Structure 1
Amino acid sequence: MRIFLAPMDGLTDDIMRHLLTRVGGIDVCVTEFVRITNTLLPKKVFYRASPELLNSGKTVSGVPVRLQLLGSDPVCLAENAALAASLGAPAIDLNFGCPAKTVNRSNGGAVLLREPENLYKIVKSVKSALNGSTPLTAKMRLGYDDKSLALECASAIEDAGADELIIHARTKTEGYRPPAYWDWIAKIREVVSLPVVANGEIWSVQDYLRCKEQSACNDVMIGRGLISNPNLAKQCKLVSDGEPFNPIAWPDVVALLIEFFELTLAKMGEKHATGRIKQWLRYLSREFTEAEALFLTIRQDKTPQLITDKLKVCQAKVLNA
């Protein structure tokens, strides 16, 4: 069984991938999507999306990072996929699941699920360009407006030569509203033979176990659940092995937050770094009451030094408690 860290635009960048894979339990990462339009992108775009390319396509902890592409032009996607593969991407992933309106209006992401024949053309073109040297995977939802084409879309992706399929168990219209329809993944598994990874609404070990049972999948992809609980993947692995587990301790979370802020500040600058630390605290608040309290203390702060000082004060308090 494998656990994947989901690609989430503006959230699971290389810094987050580095920290979460170091915590442990994650077997595969997928980058935030690289948008492909009608040009061959320069190499620097792929290195920016996946700095791990400079480390044999792996995080510092040794977890492979697949590079995800989003677009609708079969030829241009193929050319860019071939370039990304030549730079050392361990696998190429195609995004057929993004529900964002701006993406869908540009004929990318989940809107392509309305046209299974186009899915086939895209996957076929990219598969041919990779020439068997680099695995090709795809991520889809159960449909756009409804689930009527779910089986047809999955079959088109398989028939075109994809090596693996990740399925987010909701339609575009359903967005991220619970529940996730894991049983529909099981229906898809009955009509395709390629490996399938289940995704959607996994916030806890109990969700993980239910997802595996209802989807009939051994492998799962977790997104927001891992941002909210950094050692959820490790907990799931321990449960699968029949071992007891303990939640990650708040002092360890604070140490992650401090390192995250330092790395993000160095990479992105003050404005983005302050927004990102607040964003992560909001997710962590789902699991840790302490995170909510810490968020409230920095919510109005815009000065990095002030935020850093408050993070370190919090760390000193929890270590001395």
Structure 2
Amino acid sequence: MRLILAPMEGVLDHLMRDLLTRLNPFDLCVTEFIRVVDMRLPPRVFYRLCPELYQGCRTPAGTPVRIQLLGQDPDWLAENAAQACRLGAGGIDLNFGCPAKTVNRHRGGAALLGDSEQLYRIARAVRAAVPAGLPVSAKIRLGLEERDSYLENSLALYEGGISELAVHARSKQDGYRPPAYWPLVAEIRAALAIPVVVNGEIWNAAQADQARRESGCQDLMLGRGALALPNLAATIKAGTAALSWAQIRALLLDYSDMEIEGDKGLYYPNRLKQWLSYLKLQYPEAQALFGQVRTLKHTADIRRTLAAL
């Protein structure tokens, strides 16, 4: 069984990847998406979203990191995939699952699930541009408005040459509302001769087991659940006990001590509040803490609140 830390725009950045891979036996991380439009992006963009490139494309704990691209143009996606690999990327992931309206308006992410021919063209172009020894993976949802295009889209990507496929077991229209339709992923798993990874609504070890049984997949991708329970992967793979609230408080302080790029006064408060919004799903104490820091805008004020816990 492999456990993969999902890409989550705006929250699972390199700092959170560092923290979570130190806590858990993850086998792979995928970066937040790098948006590709109509140009070859300069190296600084790749290093900003994936500073792990400076250390062999691995987190400090040694977990491999794969760079994710989002776009609609096969040639420019291929050009940027090649650029990422020249900089040391250990593989490329293609985002066809993001349901955000701002992304979908420009035919990015899940919007492309309505065009299996374009999925094929993108996969074929990127696969041709990436060195043969490196993987090209993709992430999809089960469809747009309905859960009805997953087999067609999965086969298009497979025929385009992808190495593995992660499936968020909901449609774009479903958003993140329960349930996740794990049995539908089993149809994809039966149709493809490559690894298929199931994703969606995995919050604890019991749901991880259920997802594997119903999807037929050995491998899991963890996203929101890994933020709500920071050692979720360890509870699944090693049977480790869930972290106590005292341990979570120590993690929050550890995260606060990390060096954050850019304007720390703006960046850090937003990220911490985002994380607390997930932690409160598993820890009632996080709800009270979120209420304390919700209106705070300055790093120093938030750090003082955490230190006083």
Deviation digits for residues 276-300 of structure 1 (CA, Å, limit 9, x no counterpart): 1122112111111221222222222
Size of the aligned set, in residue pairs, is 309
Aligned positions of 1:24-35 closer than 5 A: 24-35=24-35
Match of 1:284 among 279, 287, 294: 279
Aligned AA for 2:287? E
User: Contact 2:264–2:299 at 8 Å: present in 1 too?
Assistant: no
Aligned to 2:188: 188
Q: C-alpha separation between the residues in 2 aligned to 1:157 and 1:204?
A: 30
- TM-score, with structure 1 as normaliser: 0.93
Aligned to 2:60: 60
TM-superposed CA distance for 1:133, in Å, is 3.4
Aligned positions of 1:94-105 closer than 5 A: 94-105=94-105
TM-superposed CA distance for 1:25, in Å, is 2.2
Match of 1:154, SS?
A: helix
Match of 2:308, SS?
A: helix
Aligned AA for 1:189? R
Aligned to 2:251: 256
TM-superposed CA distance for 1:267, in Å, is 4.3
Aligned to 2:140: 140
Aligned to 1:73: 73
Aligned to 1:318: none
Does 1:23 find its partner at 2:18? no
Aligned to 1:153: 153
User: Contact 1:9–1:32 at 8 Å: present in 2 too?
Assistant: yes
Match of 1:94, SS?
A: strand
User: Contact 1:169–1:185 at 8 Å: present in 2 too?
Assistant: yes
Match of 1:67, SS?
A: strand
Q: CA RMSD in A?
A: 1.2
Match of 2:291 among 277, 293, 296: 296
Does 1:273 find its partner at 2:258? no
TM-superposed CA distance for 1:82, in Å, is 0.4
Aligned AA for 2:107? N
Aligned to 1:179: 179
Deviation digits for residues 102-154 of structure 1 (CA, Å, limit 9, x no counterpart): 11110111111111111000000000011313210000111112222210110
TM-superposed CA distance for 1:266, in Å, is 5.2
Aligned AA for 2:297? K
Q: C-alpha separation between the residues in 2 aligned to 1:297 and 1:96?
A: 37
Q: C-alpha separation between the residues in 2 aligned to 1:264 and 1:119?
A: 38
Aligned positions of 1:219-238 closer than 5 A: 219-238=219-238
Q: C-alpha separation between the residues in 1 aligned to 2:296 and 2:57?
A: 36
Identity of aligned residues (%): 46
Match of 1:190, SS?
A: helix
Most deviating of 279-288 and 290-299: 290-299
User: Contact 1:212–1:219 at 8 Å: present in 2 too?
Assistant: yes
Q: C-alpha separation between the residues in 2 aligned to 1:56 and 1:131?
A: 16
Deviation digits for residues 212-255 of structure 1 (CA, Å, limit 9, x no counterpart): 0100011000100000000010000024xxxxx31112222112
User: Contact 1:25–1:231 at 8 Å: present in 2 too?
Assistant: no
Say if 1:120 and 1:96 are closer, same or farther in 2 by CA, change over 3 A. Answer: same
Unaligned runs of 5+ in 1: 240-244, 315-321
Unaligned runs of 5+ in 2: none
Q: C-alpha separation between the residues in 2 aligned to 1:30 and 1:228?
A: 18
Q: C-alpha separation between the residues in 1 aligned to 2:49 and 2:24?
A: 22
Most deviating of 32-41 and 285-294: 285-294
Deviating above 6 A after TM superposition, structure 1's stretches of 4 or more consecutive aligned residues are: none
Does 1:305 find its partner at 2:280? no
TM-superposed CA distance for 1:53, in Å, is 0.4
Aligned AA for 1:103? V
Aligned AA for 1:218? Q
